[in-house]
Amino acid sequence: MDRLGHEVLAAVLQVRSWSLQVLLWQRAKEPQAGHWSLPGGQLGATEDVEASVRRQLAEKVDVRQLSHVEQLQVFSAPNRMPGARVLATAFLGLVPSDNDPEIPADTRWFPVDALPATAFDHHAIVLRARDRLRSKLSYTNLGFALAPPSFTISELREIYAAALGHRVSATNLQRVLSRRGQLEPTGQTAVSGPAGGRPAAVFRFTCRDMFITDPFAVLRPPTTRR
């Protein structure tokens, strides 16, 4: 009986230039040479899947300070790769918007909404990671993992808008996150822009570890007009 292969992959997401982007590297060898892939590799014999994905990210793309990592899903379709069957345990990784990790020449950031030709089932994995992030932004404090240590509400709104894929009201965002105990003022203000005006208050997340803030948010039906 053929030995079953097992790889770990990481969909590393970051808001860059006000769009949600994913880190991909270009395959140099067959199968599917030239296609873009998620970073990762074979699971080591003496490591668990999270230790493996962190090691391989640190070795291959120098993303050493991920703000959040969580297991996403096991992808096990028999034909997901040519040749011997290989399972993939995929992870979601998040990088704060103020971090610009060093990456090798064969690696690039791509907007999730404009992916290049990807290898195997990696396109589906990226979309699954995007959907997981969007879902968790509705009922956890996971926004901390995308944001810098401190920010104005306007800056945070742009980060949420990029991650969610739609416009976000700054007033509503501040009200909801403050009501859930996610935000606190730093006591500082941002430098006024060229147009002047009142300096914007600077905030930070109260906690930089993920926790559930509204366990029923994703279960609420959409409101309907009568």
Q: Which of 42-51, 79-88, 158-167, 195-204 has the lowest mean pLDDT?
A: 195-204
Domain membership of residue 208 as a residue range: 138-219
Helix spans in 24-166 (H): 49-60, 122-139, 153-164
* C-beta of residue 111 within 8 angstroms of C-beta of residue 91: no
Q: Residue 59 has which token pair? A: 């070795």
**Using one digit for the tens of pLDDT, what is the confidence trace for 116-136?**
999 999 999 999 999 999 999
CATH number at residue 177: 1.10.10.10
Same domain, 68 and 143: no
Largest distance between two CA atoms of the chain: 72
The length of the chain, given as a count of residues? 226
CATH number at residue 96: 3.90.79.10
Same domain, 119 and 19: yes
Same domain, 37 and 109: yes
Specify the number of domains making up the chain: 2
Is residue 225 situated within a structural domain? no
Mean pLDDT (whole number) for 215-225: 59
Inter-CA distances, 40 with 7, 18, 29, 37, 150, Å:
7, 26, 15, 9, 31
C-alpha–C-alpha distance, residues 55 and 61, integer Å: 10
Is residue 224 situated within a structural domain? no
**Using one digit for the tens of pLDDT, what is the confidence trace for 6-60?**
999 999 999 999 999 999 999 999 999 999 999 998 898 889 998 898 888 887 7
Cis peptide before 199 (omega within 30 of 0): no
Residue ending a domain, choose from 105, 136, 167: 136
Is residue 191 situated within a structural domain? yes
What pLDDT score does 1 carry?
43
Across 17-49, where does the E strand assignment appear? Answer: 19-26, 36-37, 40-42
Residue ending a domain, choose from 136, 170, 192: 136
Tell me how crowded residue 65 is: count the other CB atoms within 10 A of its CB: 10
Helix spans in 10-164 (H): 49-60, 122-139, 153-164
What pLDDT score does 226 carry?
46
Mean pLDDT (whole number) for 132-156: 96
Residue ending a domain, choose from 83, 108, 136: 136
Contacting residues for 77 by C-beta, under 8 A, at least 6 apart: 121
